[in-house]
Amino acid sequence: MNKFYITTPIYYVNDKPHIGHAYTTIAADVLARFHRLKGEEVFFLTGTDEHGAKVAASAEQAGKLPQDFCDENSAKFQLIWDRLNISNDHFIRTTSDQHKAGVEKFLTKLKEVGAVYEGDYSGLYCTGCEKFITEKELVNGLCPDHKKEPEVLKEKNYFFKLSDYLPKIAELINNGELKILPENKKNEVLGLIKQGMDDFSISRESVKWGIKIPFSENQVTYVWVEALQNYITGIGYGSDDKTFNKFWPANIHLMAKDIIKFHALYWPAMLLAAGLPLPEVVFAHGFFTIDGEKMSKSLGNVIDPDVLVDEFGSDAVRYLLLSQFPFGADGDVKAGNFVIQYNSDLANGIGNLTSRVLSMVEKYLDSIVPVKDFEFSDEVAGIWHQYEDAMKRFQIDDVIEIIRKLNSFADGYVERQKPWQLAKEDKDQLNKVLYNLLESVRHLALMVYPVMPEVSEKIFGYLNQADWKNKSFKELVDWGGLESGQKVEKPQPLFPRLEK
């Protein structure tokens, strides 16, 4: 059995979940669900990043102990992922004993192979970014992201010999063994290597809230260094060799583009030093604006995923977020048009087709599936080919467009064939038409499953296909899955229309 291991970044607990976190995590869930459909053994990892100066400062500001603060805020992420039907196999917390054990093992390995050395560090440190920044990165003396003046930090640190591994990483990227996607991100990473990069600090003396360096009394691990290690500790590195060996290397690390450097350079370099295989794909999706404006608290346009789920339901939120613009690119989320799109794509689209077809089968055939017909067989097989290709390319927006294509194809067939006339004039043709429409609805339910799992399950229920998950992917995508003579149910509205 093939395996598929997918990760999201782990999210800082110094703030509550927002729409950006949801976008990445829903996308990962779509890919995980598709690979499960294919019969692969999937491990989907997400979690929370709970150490560092920023978290400690936020806890102090809230009047709480760091661990209590982390427990409370990590739970918020787990709750919203439950509401959004995120099917992660494990939720890793960097304050867990499992993670700490793996980090200590990994750092000890780096020290043993001579990839780590002690040195003095002096630089400008932005607490908001949890990283050192250079003078040339400042705008009017301030961090461009957090609009704050960085502090000058001088301390003894341990450093990782990044420069020793950059030539090998460039070679692996160029020969395709380490895929950086989209293509423009690959070029960006190769550009960073070409301009030269310094060794980086892996420890902090001035920060107390973190995992102790195993070979130092007074240093903790730099938060970014130990956060990256969640991708191996979350599947058992340092605690469960069997699971780790089964799933590593990752098939894809998925993240937003602002953290590509850490994932495409720092992380592969550390893995090379530790003698571990590299991930197959590092995919960095773009940033998005909300109705043309950058998300900010001052503009009041930071969207709470909980509020969206309350308004539209989890499946619709998943669909609406992922259908806005090409996955991997920057784009604009037209939140102001969500109700319009919900009504046009979902209420009038998938919902209406399902209701219309099953209602006609009830009216004209007493809800009994007619004799099989294969008129749509080749057409739908071609659509499935496009669907699988889009999933393999991680182009989730294309997947949604292909779902719309099947929906439109079936809608057009209804208008051309006019079953309400055939019921009076040609019962044999009516049976053929309604079988092709019923099978189209079944295929639609299967295609929407990774994106909208609840609605998919409802449609399969209406088709009396409760055991559909016991079938192989080939059985599911082959035409003719609905058996003649079986009964189907009358559906309830899948997507009740919303008023503006």
The answer on pLDDT for 15 being more than 90 is: no
* Residue 21 annotated to the active site: yes
Task: Given the residues 51, 70, 129, 186, select the one marked as catalytic.
Answer: 129
Q: How many other C-beta atoms are found inside a 10 Å radius of the C-beta of residue 299?
A: 11
* Residue 70 annotated to the active site: no
Bigger pLDDT: 147 vs 88 = 88
Non-local (6+) Cβ contacts of 352 within 8 A are none
* Residue 294 annotated to the active site: yes
CA 387, distance to chain mean position in Å, is: 18
Does residue 306 contact residue 80 with C-beta atoms inside 8 Å? yes
Instruction: Output the pLDDT for position 145.
Output: 81
220: which strand partners?
Answer: 204, 212
Confidence of residue 335 (pLDDT cuts 50, 70, 90): confident
* Residue 432 annotated to the active site: no
Q: How many whole angstroms separate alpha carbon 125 and alpha carbon 120? A: 14
Task: For CATH 1.10.730.10, list the domain ranges present in the chain.
Answer: 338-477
The answer on pLDDT for 129 being more than 90 is: no
The answer on pLDDT for 294 being more than 70 is: yes
* Residue 297 annotated to the active site: yes
Rounded average pLDDT over 124-138: 79
Instruction: Output the pLDDT for position 299.
Output: 67
Q: How many whole angstroms separate alpha carbon 301 and alpha carbon 291? A: 9
Share of the chain above pLDDT 90, in %: 82
Instruction: Output the pLDDT for position 341.
Output: 96
Write down the mean pLDDT value for the chain: 95
Instruction: Output the pLDDT for position 297.
Output: 65
Structure tokens that stand for 319 in this block: 């669909």
Give binding residues as ranges. Answer: 126, 129, 143, 146
Structure tokens that stand for 160 in this block: 């990782």
Rounded average pLDDT over 463-478: 96
* Residue 253 annotated to the active site: no
Give binding residues for Zn(2+) as ranges. Answer: 126, 129, 143, 146
* Residue 18 annotated to the active site: yes
Instruction: Output the pLDDT for position 3.
Output: 98
Bigger pLDDT: 248 vs 299 = 248
Q: What angle do CA 264, 270, 274 make, to 5 degrees?
A: 140
* pLDDT tens-digit map of 142-152: 888 888 888 88
Does residue 203 contact residue 158 with C-beta atoms inside 8 Å? yes
Rounded average pLDDT over 51-66: 94
The answer on pLDDT for 127 being more than 80 is: no
* CATH 1.10.730.10 for the 338-477 domain, yes or no: yes
SS3 452: coil
CATH for 3-286, options being 2.40.220.10, 3.40.50.620, 3.40.50.300, 3.40.50.1220:
3.40.50.620
Q: How many whole angstroms separate alpha carbon 412 and alpha carbon 416? A: 6
Structure tokens that stand for 368 in this block: 């009994």
* Residue 405 annotated to the active site: no
Task: For CATH 3.40.50.620, list the domain ranges present in the chain.
Answer: 3-286
Does residue 350 contact residue 407 with C-beta atoms inside 8 Å? yes
* pLDDT tens-digit map of 181-210: 999 999 999 999 999 999 999 998 878 999
Task: Given the residues 3, 146, 194, 490, select the one marked as catalytic.
Answer: 146
Rounded average pLDDT over 59-84: 97
Which helix or strand (DSSP H or E) is residue 333 part of? strand 331-333
Instruction: Output the pLDDT for position 161.
Output: 98
Q: How many whole angstroms separate alpha carbon 128 and alpha carbon 146? A: 6
SS3 154: strand
Task: Given the residues 51, 70, 99, 126, select the one marked as catalytic.
Answer: 126
Q: How many whole angstroms separate alpha carbon 286 and alpha carbon 350? A: 28
Share of the chain above pLDDT 70, in %: 99
Task: Given the residues 294, 363, 427, 490, select the one marked as catalytic.
Answer: 294
Instruction: Output the pLDDT for position 298.
Output: 63
Rounded average pLDDT over 376-387: 97
* pLDDT tens-digit map of 435-456: 999 999 999 999 999 999 999 9
